[in-house]
Amino acid sequence: MNHDQARFGDDDRYEPLLSETGTATVDVGSESPLPDELTRDELELPTSSEPELSRHYTRLSQMNWSVETGPYPLGSCTMKYNPSFTEDVAADPNAAVHPERSDETIQGSLELLAGLQDYLARIGGMDAVTLQPPAGAAGEFTGITIAKAYHESRDDDDRSEVIVPASAHGTNFATAAMAGYDVVELPSGEDGRVDLDALEAAVSERTAALMLTNPNTVGLFERDIEEIAEVVHDAGGLLYYDGANLNALLGRARPGDMGFDVMHYNVHKTFATPHGGGGPGAGPVGVREELAEFLPRPRVRERNGEYELYDPERSIGKVHGYQGNWLVLVKAYAYIARLGDSGLEDASAKAVLNANYLAEQLEYDIPYGPFHHEFAATAGDRDAADVAKRMLDYGVHPPTTKWPEFVPEAMLTEPTEAENKASLDDLAAAFNAAIADSDEELAAAPSKTTARRIDQATAARNPRLSWHALDDTE
């Protein structure tokens, strides 16, 4: 296959697709023990030698930003350092077992799961935890499904709405809708926090739950959390905690103590396991005692020194084919155990210190405060996305841009605890240089990266999603 390579010129930085270095077609039916009608006729795939593959993927890795490459201050994504030793622990050959092994033969794995459940319950101030959800959004879905089962168990059948603050992560809205709820959007108050009057107006006997992040998406602690919990509980609703920002609170405040009934943990954010270019993550869910019987099955427990799986009587069922993303859970366990009480608290302390220090160095308006581990700077009358592209020219990864929407031209910045003062000073210099550049320089950015500004509109208008599609066009 040659695709449309010629159309794109001869660039020495160009990395050919696997399909462009050679493919072969195999006549499948002729060598198969199966009758012809049960096999495909032929199969065409790339044919690369192992040395070629090694270079291909090494080059691709070099064309990619990562935490190991430099600061990665994506607000709400928590891109912190990934310890090497957790990778080694997860690679232990004894940990690689099939999910349908009998309980008696995988006591070590079950012990780790039970141990992680216990750690997470303590950290969140929750009574019971499931590790099954394979990502944060899957955790949200699990939590909201548990809330639904809880209301149904009380014959409280008219609760059709979930309240979500306008500033919340998009997953909250999508999750509530996916579970069949109408979404009631709660506008942010003037101080960037939940407006109690607006909340009072939004709750009703139809309210199944309020989904809240605390600190919220601009790093502000919802100081009225006790009143918020009271309003929601008085209306018969449950309070759901989105754990995306838990990195700001480790050992200093716990969702359970704030009145939250159900929460998810993004263990791949809070406890530093790698994000893998978009996953896998893991989204364990913690609940108060009253909700424990609805948790997904099976659960792990210890009885007489032995670990076993069992099904809670009123379980919502399953949210993953097996027990979730095991390797991610192992890494989370190892990380929590490595840090312990003092390390977890220190991680939050340094994450909050870093955010405050970085903000102090920026020549940008930051409309709300005081904030914890992340803050929303505004690019003012400049286009935040353009400023971000210009930051690429200064050799750093820009923050999350244009979100949350209630901050104009938002640049949501989360340095995490893993950067030192010098690194933050460099990052601040990139921020400040970019906003000081001319409109022309911003519009022409990035000019120093491997790829120049990418045309996203055409990509969406004329979707070419595989190398076959490259051959089909023009």
Partner 1 sequence: MTDAGRHERVDGTPYAPHTPEQTAAMLEAVGADSEADLFDVPSEVRFDGDLGIEPRSERELRGELSETFARNDDLTEFLGRDHHTHYVPSVVDDLSQRAEFLTSYTQYQPEIAQGFLQALFEYQSLVAELTGLPVANCSMYDAASGLAEAARLAGRVRSISGTRVLVPELLHENKRAVLDNYVDGTDLEVATYPMDDGNVDIDALSGLVGEDTALVYVENPTVRGTIEEHLDEVGTITDEAGSLFCLGTDMAALGLLEEPESVGADVVVGEADALGLPTAYGMGLGLFATRESFLRQVPGRLVGASEDESGRRTYTLTLQTREQHIRKERATSNICTNQAWIALRTAMHLAWLGPDGLVDLGNQCVREATSLAGDLDELAGVHAPVHDRHHFREFAVRTDQPAPAVAADLESEGFAVHVLDDHLLQVCVTDVNAAATDELVAAFEEAI
Among residue numbers 17 through 46, which ones bind partner 1 (CB under 8 A)?
17-19, 23-26, 28, 31-35, 37-41, 43-46
Q: How many CB atoms lie within 10 A of CB 457?
A: 7
Going through 132-203 in order, the beta strands assigned E by DSSP cover 161-165, 182-186
Q: How far is the CB of 188 from partner 1 (least distance, A)?
A: 15
Q: How far is the CB of 235 from partner 1 (least distance, A)?
A: 21
Element (H, E) at 413: strand 410-413
Q: How far apart are CA 353 and CA 370, in angstroms?
A: 12
195: left (phi over 0), alpha (psi -120 to 50) or beta: beta
Q: How far is the CB of 89 from partner 1 (least distance, A)?
A: 5
Q: How far is the CB of 315 from partner 1 (least distance, A)?
A: 9
Judged by CB under 8 A, which of 204, 378, 432, 449 binds partner 1? 449
User: What character string, x for contact with partner 1 (CB under 8 A) and - otherwise, covers 327-356?
Assistant: xx-x--xx-xxxxxxxxx-xx-xx-xxx-x
Judged by CB under 8 A, which of 141, 240, 265, 431 binds partner 1? 141
Cβ neighbours of residue 181 under 8 Å, at least 6 residues apart? 144, 148, 160, 161, 162, 208
Q: How far is the CB of 457 from partner 1 (least distance, A)?
A: 9
Judged by CB under 8 A, which of 81, 158, 234, 290 binds partner 1? 81
- 375-378 and 410-413 strand pairing: antiparallel
Hey, which residues between 211 and 250 contact partner 1 (CB under 8 A)?
220-221, 223, 225-226, 249
Cβ neighbours of residue 194 under 8 Å, at least 6 residues apart? 165, 186, 188, 212, 216, 222, 224, 228
Hey, which residues between 186 and 215 contact partner 1 (CB under 8 A)?
none
Residue 309 makes contact with partner 1 by CB under 8 A:
no
Q: What is the largest CA-CA distance in the chain?
A: 74
Residue 23 or 432: the one with the smaller Cβ distance to partner 1 is 23
Q: Which stretch binds partner 1 (CB under 8 A): 78-86, 195-203, 234-242, 431-439?
A: 78-86
Cβ neighbours of residue 312 under 8 Å, at least 6 residues apart? 292, 293, 294, 295, 297, 299
Both tokens of 80, joined, read 């912190």
Residue 187 or 276: the one with the smaller Cβ distance to partner 1 is 276
Residue 235 or 266: the one with the smaller Cβ distance to partner 1 is 266
Q: Which stretch binds partner 1 (CB under 8 A): 198-206, 273-281, 287-295, 406-414?
A: 273-281
Residue 257 makes contact with partner 1 by CB under 8 A:
yes
Q: How far is the CB of 270 from partner 1 (least distance, A)?
A: 12
Residue 105 or 290: the one with the smaller Cβ distance to partner 1 is 105
Element (H, E) at 443: helix 439-444
Q: How far is the CB of 75 from partner 1 (least distance, A)?
A: 11
Q: How far apart are CA 471 and CA 466, in angstroms?
A: 9
Q: How far apart are CA 272 and CA 336, in angstroms?
A: 9
Judged by CB under 8 A, which of 324, 410, 434, 435 binds partner 1? 324
237-259-273-358 Cα dihedral, nearest 10 degrees:
110
Phi, psi of 463 (to 5 degrees): -65, 125
> Cβ distance 412 to 385 under 8 Å?
no
Hey, which residues between 382 and 421 contact partner 1 (CB under 8 A)?
388-389, 392, 397-398, 400, 403, 417-421
Element (H, E) at 393: helix 384-393
56: left (phi over 0), alpha (psi -120 to 50) or beta: alpha
Hey, which residues between 416 and 435 contact partner 1 (CB under 8 A)?
417-421, 423
By CB under 8 A, the count of residues binding partner 1 is: 201
User: What character string, x for contact with partner 1 (CB under 8 A) and - otherwise, covers 142-181?
Assistant: ---x--x--------------------xxx-xxxxxxxxx
Judged by CB under 8 A, which of 2, 301, 310, 317 binds partner 1? 317
User: What character string, x for contact with partner 1 (CB under 8 A) and - otherwise, covers 99-138?
Assistant: xxxx-xxxxxx-xx------x--xx-x--------xxxxx
How far is the CA of 79 from the CAs of 71, 169, 259, 459, in angstroms?
8, 17, 28, 27
Q: Which stretch binds partner 1 (CB under 8 A): 202-210, 230-238, 322-330, 375-383?
A: 322-330
Judged by CB under 8 A, which of 14, 187, 301, 439 binds partner 1? 14
Q: How far apart are CA 36 and CA 325, in angstroms?
A: 38
- 23-27 and 42-46 strand pairing: antiparallel
> Cβ distance 384 to 411 under 8 Å?
yes
Judged by CB under 8 A, which of 2, 196, 230, 322 binds partner 1? 322
Residue 262 makes contact with partner 1 by CB under 8 A:
no
Judged by CB under 8 A, which of 196, 201, 429, 451 binds partner 1? 451
